[in-house]
Each structure stands twice: as C-alpha cells, then as structure tokens.
C-alpha cells in the first residue's frame, strides 16, 4: 500500500499497551488538506488513523487529544520543535492484504509515522464480505461513506434500539424494517418465509409499511379492530392463564376444568340444561351464602333472572344447618321440586343461549364451575376469588379486542396498535400474541426453522419492565420469563426480537444482556447510561461520552454485526412513511391564523 507524504500527520511518541500517542506536525494542524486536487478532512476525535510499522498497517481510532508544550531545545530531531498537539489513539486492528482484521495484531514503535485515512481505506475497514447489505444512513465524520450493515448479521439477531424521546429511535426502527421489507418484497420466498409483528404502543407505525395489516385495538369503544384468534386458542389453558393472570398451583388447574365444561358446551352447541341448574342450586345448600353472588351472575348470563327471583321467593336457607326449606318450613327440598317451582311446564331441557360469542360461553362455564366446586368443597373461594374478579373485568374487554375466526389470514406484516387500550390490557395483549406465535413456531416441524418470525416491540419498557406496582410479583415474573425464553431460545426456532425503548434501565437485565446488536441514540439519564455502557461490546471512553451529546438521528451502532462501535447518522424516511412520532408545533397551536 502506497502512502503519500502529504497524508502524513505526525509520528508515534509513546506506546502504552494498546493506547498510542502520536505527535502532530505543526504544518498539519489544519482542518483540511489538499490531496490530489480534493479537500481531505484532517484527523480529529472519532476518526480513524493509520500507523505504518514496516510492512504492517495498523488502524487506530482517535479518542482524544491534548496540547504539548513546544520544546525549544532540539536534542534528537527537529520534529519536536514542530509538535503542537498529541493524539491519543486506541488500536482497532490492521490492514492485511487490503482487508481489515480486527484485533491487536501488532503495536507500533516510537517514531513510526501516522497517516490520514482516505476514503478507500475507510471502505476497506467497513467492507463486508456479505453480498446482501442494508444502507441505513452515513457515517458521522465520513459523511460521503454510507452506513451499511450485513443483512444476515443484523436481521438474524436480537436488536436493541435505545434513546430519549426525540433522539430518532422511532425513525431508526422504521428505517431498519422499511429498508429490509422494501429490499426483499419482490421475492416470493421472502413473502412466504418471513413474518413481522410490530407491537406499537403509541400508534406510530400504521403508515410506515404500505402492505401491512394494521389492527387498531381499543377498549374505549366497540369501533376498534379485533385481533383474530382461533377456537384452538380459546380452548388452550395457557392462553387463559395469560389472559386472567392465573397462579400456577390453584387457579391454572381450575381453568383447565372450566375449559372441559366449555368444550362440552361448544361441541354440542348447547348451553346448560334446566336439570343441571336445579341440581347446581340443590348442591349449593352448604355454601349458598358464599355462592349467591355467582348465582346471580350465572342466571343473568343465561337470561333467566325471573327464575332466580322465583327461587329466592319460594325457598329459604337455614344458615345453621345449611339446608333449603320452603316458606312452609318444609325441609324436604329436592332438585325435582326446585325444577317444578322455577321451570314449570318447560318444553325444552336446554336453556337457549347464543354461544356464538365464545367469551360469553367461557364466562358461563367459568361461573358454573366455581359454584359447583365451592359447593362440593373442591376449592376455596379465597383462592379463586381474585381470578373471578379479573375475569369479570377482562372478559368484557376481550370481546372488544379479540375475534374468534376459523380461517385466520396469514399476514406477512402486522402492526398491532395498542394506543387505545387501557393499561391492564396493554400488558396482557402483547404477551398473549407473542407467546402464541412463539409457541406455534416452537411446536412446528424442524423444517419450519427455514422461516423467520420477527417480533418488534416499540416502547418496550411497557411490557419488559422489571419494576411494576400494578401487578403481582408472580405475574410479573411470568411475563418476563416468557420474553426471556424468546430471547434466549428463539434463534433456534427462527424467532428474533427487536426492542425499542427510551428507558433501557427499566428493562430486565437478562433481556438487555442477550441482545446481539444495539442502536444507541442520545441518552442522558445516569442509570440508562450505566446500563448501556455495561453492555456495549468494545466500547471505549470516548464513545461512551458521546452518547449524551448525539444529535437527532445520530447513534452508536455496536454488536456482532460490526467489529467495533460505529458512529452513524440514520437517514430520515420519506414523509409518507415516517412514524407519527414528531414533536407537535406549539406555535401552530398558539398563534392565530391570518
């Protein structure tokens, strides 16, 4: 490799481990140097520099500089009289046969010359052997050189995108997947073998992907979209355990017994017989006072409130003996007597209820089983009571956001907007969807590993936080364990997770540590900075200090897809494809329109 003396900026004056100090010649203390008729930017903090040692071309990165006092006495060389500043350099690797090799292969000697790195050398440093790359922007400090990343190294990994609000993280997330989908959208194999799920907490990404299926879920009204689930999901014990935040030892087994009752009702397309209701009432005698509120809910769902009113008017309970008696003090009460009293001359044995609404059918089975099992001392009300309270609230909300479908369309790109969900459902729905999709991939045959599932979670601290006072400790651990399993084992099944957040310090340490690649935008909070600095690979002091002063769109890219942290400026998407995350104009809101 030929190096022109015009590019020579100084010589090595100190070698201490991998830290090198280079003295800069006084005539090279200018911003630009004329090289072959072009203005080449001189070295500065964050730039690369090349040090020639014999036939070795050592590549370093400038981490800092300082002014050195100019010596007036020359004892060795006139060079000392020309030195005005000292550069601190960290060795990154070397150029071997015009290819960059990362790592400490050689150290320079005092007196070796240092050179400005030209664009063709920068190209060799960042050169990728992969044919398929994504161009996401440009390098900070080398504006003419594009920021490209290997598709295999980046997309076949778990990705973290972090930065304060307004730092450009939403644009980075959108840019990354917009370019990926746009680059491969015409390939039939890509359309067939990939799936992208965007969990959008703030409703920002609905317009980014033109071909995406957007679900605007809402618990505030019945006008929102409904996310499709199958009848198989409705009959899955783990699905309901997630929805109802069930405990493992008592509530989850109870849900399993409820589902057996529910399945029987659905298979026969029949609800509950009048004989079952009367037998249920008869068996409830010892625990009647405990189950009376549930009886009122059950009769209301079945549309037979008058029958319950007739029952309470015709029969009384002896609290001491736990027996029913008639108003005439007749204790000889049987199921047949109850039936003849509340269902006189009824033609059909079944209570006619529309079971097309699966959530109503499940609620009927749920209330029926708790009455039945409390009456027979199978369960303790205090153990199942919290589950029933959650179910009463959530089943109504689920009917607004979920829809049972026999044939679910397999959309390649889905954006699930959660901005109109209440806080409780914002935690439940993403967990339910991600767990369902991950389990489906995990249970599939081995050949389906050729397909990939990409789960992208924006504002991930909402669902991956390890600090929450709104839920029980047991449920929080279950929620985190589900996502931790995805990030630990998902790559074996072709499942990859991308998380974006403005508060990385709130996210589980396990999840942060298992990410492979990071886009770090501006962060100013001390806890966030400490957490990120612990996880960045090959991070140096100068790079860490830049995190808090990055401009909007600027980021530090680090991870397995690069040999060392890269300062990059992510390009802004076209107006029509930008996420809706821009800051509102306060002047437009306040000023009168003329």
Single out the residue in 402, 431, 466 at which a domain terminates: 402
Is residue 200 located within the same domain as residue 277?
Answer: no
Quote the pLDDT of residue 471: 66
Say if residue 376 is in the same domain as residue 510. no
pLDDT tens figures, 491-533:
889 999 999 999 998 888 889 989 999 999 999 988 888 888 8
- For residue 289, is it within any domain? yes
In a domain, 166, yes or no: yes
Q: What is the DSSP string of 380-447?
A: -HHHHHHHHHHHHHHHHHHHHHEEE-SS----SEEEEEEEES-HHHHHHHHHHHHHHHHHHHHHS-GG
Looking at the fold, whether 73 and 182 belong to one and the same domain comes out as no
Is residue 173 in a domain?
A: yes
Q: What proportion of the chain, given as a percentage, has pLDDT over 70?
A: 93
Is the same domain home to 422 and 384? no
pLDDT, tens only, 177-229: 999 999 999 999 999 999 999 999 998 898 899 889 999 999 988 888 999 99
- Residue 345 domain-assigned? yes
Residue 132 belongs to a domain: no
Q: Are residues 417 and 395 in the same domain?
A: no
Q: Mean of the pLDDT values across residues 167-179?
A: 94
Instruction: Inform me whether the pLDDT recorded for 449 exceeds 70.
Output: no
Do 81 and 171 sit in the same domain of this protein? no
The reported pTM is 0.85
How confident is the model at residue 539, as a pLDDT?
65
User: Is residue 43 predicted with pLDDT exceeding 90?
Assistant: no
Averaged pLDDT, 358-363: 91
The range of the structural domain enclosing residue 373 comes to 233-402
Confidence of residue 319 (pLDDT cuts 50, 70, 90): confident
Whether 14 and 55 map to the same domain: the answer is yes
- Residue 500 covered by a domain: yes
CATH label of the domain that carries residue 75: 2.40.30.20
Q: What is the DSSP string of 509-568?
A: HHHHHH-SEEEE-----HHHHHHHHHH-TT--HHHHHHGGGPPTTEEEEEETTSSS-EEE
| Per-residue pLDDT, 292 | 93
Domain boundary among 379, 402, 425: 402
The structural domain count of the chain equals 3
In a domain, 142, yes or no: no
Residues 451 and 318 in one domain: no
Residue ending a domain, among 402, 437, 469, is 402
Q: Are residues 496 and 578 in the same domain?
A: yes
* Burial group, residue 186, by CB count within 10 angstroms (0-12, 13-18, 19+): exposed
Same domain, 64 and 26: yes
278 and 383 co-located in one domain:
yes
550 falls within a domain? yes
Rg of the Cα trace of the chain? 34
Please state the φ and ψ torsions of residue 329, each to the nearest 5 degrees.
60, 30
Claim to verify: residue 541 and residue 579 sit in the same structural domain: yes
Q: What is the CATH number of the domain that holds 551?
A: 3.40.50.300
Residue 78 has pLDDT above 60, yes or no: no
């Amino acid at each position: 490799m030929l190096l022109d003396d015009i590019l020579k900026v100084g010589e090595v004056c100190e070698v201490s481990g991998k830290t090198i100090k280079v003295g800069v010649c006084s005539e090279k203390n200018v911003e630009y140097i004329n090289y072959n008729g072009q203005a080449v930017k001189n070295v500065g903090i964050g730039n690369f520099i090349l040090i020639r040692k014999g036939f070795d071309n050592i590549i370093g990165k400038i981490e800092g500089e300082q002014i050195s006092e100019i010596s007036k006495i020359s004892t060795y060389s006139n060079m000392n009289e020309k030195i005005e500043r000292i550069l601190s350099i960290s060795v990154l690797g070397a150029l071997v046969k015009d290819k960059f090799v990362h790592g400490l292969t050689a150290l320079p000697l005092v007196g070796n010359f240092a050179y400005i790195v030209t664009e063709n050398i920068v190209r060799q440093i960042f050169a990728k052997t992969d044919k398929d790359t994504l161009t996401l922007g440009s390098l900070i400090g080398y504006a003419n050189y594009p920021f490209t990343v290997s598709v295999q190294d980046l997309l076949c990994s778990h990705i973290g995108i972090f930065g304060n609000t307004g730092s450009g993280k939403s644009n980075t997330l959108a840019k990354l997947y917009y370019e990926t989908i746009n680059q491969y959208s015409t390939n039939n194999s890509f359309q067939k073998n990939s799936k992208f799920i965007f969990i959008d907490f703030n409703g920002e990404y609905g317009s980014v992907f033109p071909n995406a299926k957007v679900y605007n879920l809402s618990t505030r009204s019945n006008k929102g979209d409904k996310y499709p689930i199958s009848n198989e999901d409705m009959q899955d014990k783990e699905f309901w355990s997630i929805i109802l935040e069930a405990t493992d030892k008592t509530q989850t087994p109870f849900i399993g017994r409820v589902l057996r009752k529910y399945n029987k009702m659905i298979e026969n397309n029949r609800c509950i017989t009048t004989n079952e209701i009367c037998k249920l009432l008869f068996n409830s005698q010892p625990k009647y006072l405990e189950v009376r509120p549930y009886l009122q809910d059950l009769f209301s769902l079945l549309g037979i409130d008058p029958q319950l009113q007739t029952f309470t008017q015709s029969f009384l309970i002896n609290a001491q003996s736990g027996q029913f008696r008639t108003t005439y003090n007749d204790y000889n009460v049987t199921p047949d007597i109850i039936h003849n009293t509340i269902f006189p001359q009824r033609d059909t044995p079944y209570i006619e209820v529309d079971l097309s609404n699966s959530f109503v059918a499940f609620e009927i089975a749920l209330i029926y089983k708790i009455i039945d099992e409390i009456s027979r001392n199978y369960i303790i009300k205090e153990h199942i009571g919290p589950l029933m309270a959650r179910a009463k609230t959530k089943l109504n909300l689920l009917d607004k956001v979920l829809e049972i479908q026999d044939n679910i369309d397999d959309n390649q790109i889905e954006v699930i907007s959660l901005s109109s969900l209440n806080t409780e459902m914002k935690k439940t729905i993403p967990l339910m969807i991600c767990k369902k999709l991950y389990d489906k991939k995990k249970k599939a045959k081995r050949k389906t590993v050729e397909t990939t599932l990409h789960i992208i979670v924006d504002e991930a601290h909402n669902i991956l936080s390890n600090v929450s006072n709104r839920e029980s400790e047991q449920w929080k651990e279950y929620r985190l364990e589900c996502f931790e399993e995805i990030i630990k084992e998902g790559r074996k099944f072709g499942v990859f997770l991308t998380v974006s957040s403005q508060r990385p310090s709130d996210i589980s340490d396990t999840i942060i540590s298992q990410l492979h690649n990071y886009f770090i935008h501006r962060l100013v909070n001390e806890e966030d900075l400490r957490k990120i600095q612990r996880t960045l690979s090959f991070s140096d002091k100068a790079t860490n200090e830049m995190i808090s002063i990055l401009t909007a769109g600027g980021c530090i890219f680090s991870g397995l897809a690069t040999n060392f942290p890269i300062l990059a400026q992510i390009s802004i998407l076209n107006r029509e494809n930008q996420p809706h995350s821009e800051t509102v104009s306060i002047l437009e809101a306040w000023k009168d329109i003329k």
